[in-house]
Structure 1
Amino acid sequence: MDDATLTIPASPASSEARAAPFALSLQPLNPGASLRDLAYAKLRQAIAEADIYGSREPIRLDERTITEALGVSRTPIREAMTLLEQEGFLRAVPRRGVFIRRKTRREIVEMIQMWAALESMAARLATLKATDDEIADLRRLFDRFHDERQAPARHIDEYSEANITFHEALVKLSKSHSIAHTIRNVFAHVRAIRRLTISQSDRASRSITEHMHIIEALEARDTEGAERFARQHSLELATYVSAHCDFLE
């Protein structure tokens, strides 16, 4: 079926309701699995990929629009929203509706610090468990950006996606299901911040250099080095967010 774009209208009253229209990319669900679980997965992915920090206005979800976009009844949508509220993605406000929950600067910094701890261990394990071919695939993600020094400036959106893919792939190379499961929720919350900040203060160019240090340590099976470079890379983002992301307050 064709993609359906969900426009979330603002409520007519209160400061929380003056948000500009916001779009989540959603497709109708396929029958056969739990509709609640399918709705949860679709909504979670759409929220994680959305630019929720592009405006300070509250982002209100419209239940009827979501049910129409996903092609299901309201019951699985409400159940999915309850799960997402428990995970910190949404917040329900009595008599006003359900809103996407933005994290504060402190919350984001703490999540990135947690990410640094988990990803650095993933990098350490990857030196022991990943194959040479798997590490080569990680390097190939950045071949064009490494060779074209100005590529981050000219192709920032493309590089931003490559950056996200890199961090997801690095965790997979650890072959640790526990780390992958734990870091999944953390990354969903900080993904929008990674995408937003990569274009600021020449962070894209520095990111390429830091990624290459990690890759080179993996290739050399340098366990301590891979762990150290991965941790430093994420903590640099935490420091940047703490110092410059005033919009998170």
Structure 2
Amino acid sequence: MPSETQTPQGAETGSGGLTLSLEPIGATASLRDQAYMKLRQVIDEADIYHSRSEIRLDERELTEALGVSRTPIREAMARLLQEGFLRAGSRRGVYILRKTKREIVEMIHMWAALESAAAQLAIQRATDEEIAQLRRMFDDFRDSTPAEHIDEYSAANIAFHSAVVRLSKSKVIFDTIENIFAHVRAIRKMTLPQSDRASRSIVDHMRIIEALESRDTELAERLVKHHSLDLAAFVEANCDFLD
């Protein structure tokens, strides 16, 4: 996904240079909840590990972009701080939290366990048509290599993993994995262009889809877990920039 998008408001977060894709909040739900969802969107779309510069969220610019008072923004930020998406810096600054390499590796291990459990449940609960939709996600890459369209493939890659979790139809798994999604997604995006990982990734995805289609629970669980653990091993060996 792109880390920068244009918006009529043109609000920026400061040191990270992230342009917020935000529109004024309406009145259909609580302002606090809507502000929370908008800020989660910003975090999910941010290229957190693109550089060592941290991305600062400016309270004043957020209130102007969202068209609300500072109270719901502060309440949303407090929740995100508690959930571990933000951190409070010096001089009352608030930043999108960056994880260390060790933390990222541990999160990927957790992701591997949760997604393999999701694959097991998907085999039990998803229809043939729902599983078939996974294959269609890669139609655009049938006649070319993923490396030729790395941004598009990166988006499809992330969507694939999210879709497998959704097919489990387990709210508990989905809610749990969402809390680590922003960081794992950012790392997946960064590592795909390296060491021909994109081409190997699509091969892994096709094998996972075949296992789901054949309702082979043991194979699907093993393939899903191995796919993520391979990412963890790559991060451990190659991503010293995280520290």
TM range (shorter): over 0.9
Matching of residue 194 in structure 1 with residue 199 in structure 2: no
Out of 97, 104, 107, the residue aligned to residue 108 of structure 1 is 104
Out of 78, 89, 93, the residue aligned to residue 82 of structure 1 is 78
In the aligned structure 1, how far is the partner of 2:118 from the partner of 2:92? 42
Kept in 2, the 8 Å contact 1:217–1:223? The answer is yes
Tell me what 1:244 maps to: 238
Q: CA RMSD in A?
A: 1.4
Tell me what 1:39 maps to: 35
TM-score by length of 2: 0.93
In the aligned structure 1, how far is the partner of 2:10 from the partner of 2:221? 41
Moved over 3 A (4+): 2-5
Tell me the CA shift for residue 153 of structure 1: 1.6
Tell me the CA shift for residue 171 of structure 1: 0.6
In the aligned structure 1, how far is the partner of 2:156 from the partner of 2:184? 16
In the aligned structure 1, how far is the partner of 2:180 from the partner of 2:104? 9
| Higher mean displacement: 67-76 or 93-102 | 93-102
In the aligned structure 1, how far is the partner of 2:132 from the partner of 2:27? 38
In the aligned structure 2, how far is the partner of 1:94 from the partner of 1:117? 36
Matching of residue 157 in structure 1 with residue 151 in structure 2: yes
Kept in 1, the 8 Å contact 2:48–2:183? The answer is no
Tell me what 2:52 maps to: 56
Tell me the CA shift for residue 148 of structure 1: 2.1
Matching of residue 171 in structure 1 with residue 171 in structure 2: no
Structure 2, unaligned stretches of length 5 or more? Answer: 1-6
TM-score by length of 1: 0.91
Out of 115, 130, 133, the residue aligned to residue 129 of structure 2 is 133
Tell me the CA shift for residue 24 of structure 1: 2.6
Count how many residue pairs are aligned between Structure 1 and Structure 2: 237
Out of 125, 143, 148, the residue aligned to residue 148 of structure 1 is 143
Are residues 107 and 36 of structure 1, via their aligned partners in 2, closer, same or farther at CA, if it must alter by over 3 Å?
same
CA offsets per residue over residues 115-155 of structure 1, 9 Å max, x none?
0000001111111211110111011111332x2242x1221
Tell me the CA shift for residue 189 of structure 1: 2.6
Tell me what 1:235 maps to: 229
Tell me the CA shift for residue 26 of structure 1: 1.7
Matching of residue 205 in structure 1 with residue 199 in structure 2: yes
% of aligned pairs identical? Answer: 66
Kept in 2, the 8 Å contact 1:126–1:173? The answer is yes
Kept in 2, the 8 Å contact 1:129–1:173? The answer is yes
Tell me what 1:4 maps to: 9
In the aligned structure 1, how far is the partner of 2:160 from the partner of 2:16? 32
Which structure's residues are more often strand, by fraction?
1
